A and B are shown apart, each in its own frame.
Chain A
Amino acid sequence: MAAAVGPGRGGSEFWRRFRASRPGVAGLGLVILLAATALAAPLVAPHDPHATSLVTLAAPGAPGHPLGTDNLGRDIASGVLWGSRASLVVGVCAAATAIFLGVVIGAVAGFYGGWVDALLSRVTELFQVIPRFVLALLVVALFGGGLGKLILVIGVLSWPQAARVVRGQFLALRGAAYVDAARVLGLRDTRIIFSEILPNVLAPVVVIASLDVAGAILLEASLGFFGLGDPNLISWGLMLNNAQAYLRQAWWMSVFPGLAISLAVLGFNLLGDGLNDAANPRLDA
């Protein structure tokens, strides 16, 4: 992964600088923890997260329920562990969608300039003006919110930032000597865009990808909190939606899933900071 990230053959140099960044290492640790939780959920969760029981609203520390139970007697600890799956899958897949769209759109706009650039810039602006959360809410409310749709909606609404950065980089690089050389050699535009220029702008893209995962996890949780999302999935946002009606009786229904969201988002934010430190060694942040 790291080798593909660094500009040119500086992969190991990139990795060395990343390891020197304390936030980056902490973030990577949290992300690994999240991934491990998602993988191991079936093995370590004490209960089936969907299973209801007669032990309702049990406080943390109740026998068999370390983090307590909810209003239907479902185990909170199991919900928190299983919820990592939805967060991670939606977060990573939605960010990948956003990065793919952003890179292609930004590259085309920056490379060709002119009316293509003008048109894409207007579209980017439009996406920045419409509140992402409200639009996502509306689309899920109107079209339904299965896992795939959720990923698609969040991904499609999150590409503008990557597009803007990639566009800027392409604008700066399209006049570079090696690009002219590639043109003289008669390389096709797609080849120049993706093989010649793109590898040189990957570092900032990787930073944005990490931040996009954090944003997507937050957006998925927000939609879940509004009661929208995949009803068959265990999701931290939905758990918080459920907790809202029982705030006075059961603080644990809110505290643990919220903590889980915060740590997951923090992990990807820190990872992004670390990647940024590694990608821009001159900036002493």
Chain B
Amino acid sequence: MASGGLTLRRYAAGRLLQAAPLLLGVVVVNFLLIALAPGDPVATLLGEYPAPPEYVARLRQEFGLDQPIPVRLALYVWNVARGNLGFSFAYRLPVAQLVVERLVNTFLLMATALTLAAALGVGLGVAAARRPGSGLDAASTGVSLAGYSIPDFWLAQLLVLLFAVALGWLPAQGIRSVREEYTGLAAALDVGRHLILPALALSFRYMALIARLTRASMLEAMSQDFILAARARGLPERLVLVQHGLRNAALPVVTVIGYNFAFVLAGSALVETVFGWPGVGRLLYDAILQRDTPVLLGILLMVSATVVVVNLLVDLLYAVLDPRVRY
């Protein structure tokens, strides 16, 4: 087992080395977008204001825009490496600080949604796999299809229409009540109430995916010899299901969450827009309206970097969870 730990560590190091060029690639794509975008950044900065050509030239020099592209790329990589992602003129804040602040709210939404998706999806998948061909199984297939096909931002609007507008049970906007000053537990509960609808809207697609994969892997696991053996030993069906079958359901959940992380982030952007949730998605939407390019690029960069890190973690978790994975 000691050697197993060692190989795992070597595998982790290898994967980390693979992640580095990927991150550099993300930075380069980002730079190319800036460099190729139409419009002169200095002209945008100056706006309508008439400026003497000497001043324009000085600005170009100051921002390094007079340098050849490879030099500008090197400068850009150097800046990003130091955590300098530029400055948002709309918010008058450094982009990195702005994005990190919003990422916290996005992660809260994503974590809640994914937890919900995992719990409901595994439950539905297991229930469907217990009686293949039953009404419940058919219902879970229907849910899966709906999950693939319904846009999450439209589901978000439907939830607002039903639970906020028609029934008035839950808030439709924001992360906390504007009129009340809550502290401590009451404040947390208030955020929780605001979290329910966006998290439901965001979780649906992944719940469907997880249910479908759980059903398939449960059916496969339950047809194995060790299940027959467990039943032959007279183990109660519930224990067979949980101890022997469900263990195998952990992998699809990790897979879905890990390899769809980029999509969950994108979905979050859309859902946040519907609910006015102050996360990265909402920031993205506002940045587009305000043509705040540094913020747009900063978001793309940080979000992609997050996906690289999460994929890395998932691969490692996978290696730990599934002894069959060779590394």
| Chain A interface residues (CB < 8 Å from chain B) | 23, 122, 125-126, 128-135, 137-139, 141-143, 214, 218, 221-222, 225-228, 240, 243-244, 247-248, 251, 254-255, 258, 261-263, 265-266, 269-270
B161 and A254 contacting across the interface, CB-CB below 8 Å: yes
9 other contacts beyond A134-B299, A142-B38, A221-B151, with CB at 8 A cut-off?
A: A129-B307, A130-B29, A130-B304, A131-B263, A134-B300, A248-B165, A258-B157, A265-B150, A265-B151
Residues of A within 8 A of B291 (CB): 141
A261 and B151 contacting across the interface, CB-CB below 8 Å: yes
B270 and A225 contacting across the interface, CB-CB below 8 Å: yes
Scoring B residues 265 to 293 as 1 if CB is less than 8 Å from chain A, else 0, what string do you get? 11001100110000000001100110101
A18 to B303, CA, bound (A): 41
Residues of A within 8 A of B311 (CB): 129
Q: Which residue, of B153, B273, B284, has the highest number of chain A Cβ atoms within 10 A?
A: B153
Residues of B within 8 A of A248 (CB): 165
Task: Answer whether residue B296 sits at the interface, using C-beta atoms and an 8 A cutoff.
Answer: yes
Task: Answer whether residue B262 sits at the interface, using C-beta atoms and an 8 A cutoff.
Answer: yes
B300 and A135 contacting across the interface, CB-CB below 8 Å: yes
Size band of the interface chain B makes with A: 35 or more
A130 to B274, CA, bound (A): 23
Task: Answer whether residue B37 sits at the interface, using C-beta atoms and an 8 A cutoff.
Answer: yes
B29 and A247 contacting across the interface, CB-CB below 8 Å: no
Q: Nearest chain-A residue to B37 (Cβ)?
A: A142
A262 and B150 contacting across the interface, CB-CB below 8 Å: yes
A262 and B161 contacting across the interface, CB-CB below 8 Å: no
Residues of B within 8 A of A130 (CB): 26, 29, 262, 300, 304, 307
Residues of A within 8 A of B273 (CB): 225-226, 244
Q: A129-B307, A143-B38, A244-B274 are in contact. Are A138 and B300 (CB under 8 A)?
A: yes
B21 and A122 contacting across the interface, CB-CB below 8 Å: yes
B151 and A126 contacting across the interface, CB-CB below 8 Å: no
B297 and A134 contacting across the interface, CB-CB below 8 Å: no
B158 and A262 contacting across the interface, CB-CB below 8 Å: no
A47 to B288, CA, bound (A): 32
Task: Answer whether residue B145 sits at the interface, using C-beta atoms and an 8 A cutoff.
Answer: yes
A216 to B293, CA, bound (A): 25
Across the interface, A132 reaches (CB within 8 A) one of B151, B154, B266, B297, namely B266
A132 and B262 contacting across the interface, CB-CB below 8 Å: yes
Task: Answer whether residue B308 sits at the interface, using C-beta atoms and an 8 A cutoff.
Answer: yes
A222 to B267, CA, bound (A): 9
B149 and A125 contacting across the interface, CB-CB below 8 Å: no
Across the interface, B288 reaches (CB within 8 A) one of A126, A128, A227, A262, namely A227
Task: Answer whether residue B189 sits at the interface, using C-beta atoms and an 8 A cutoff.
Answer: no
B26 and A254 contacting across the interface, CB-CB below 8 Å: no
A191 to B305, CA, bound (A): 41
Scoring B residues 4 to 42 as 1 if CB is less than 8 Å from chain A, else 0, what string do you get? 000000000000000001100110010001000110000
Q: A130-B304, A138-B296, A254-B158 are in contact. Are A247 and B25 (CB under 8 A)?
A: no
Q: A131-B303, A266-B149, A269-B148 are in contact. Are A142 and B33 (CB under 8 A)?
A: yes
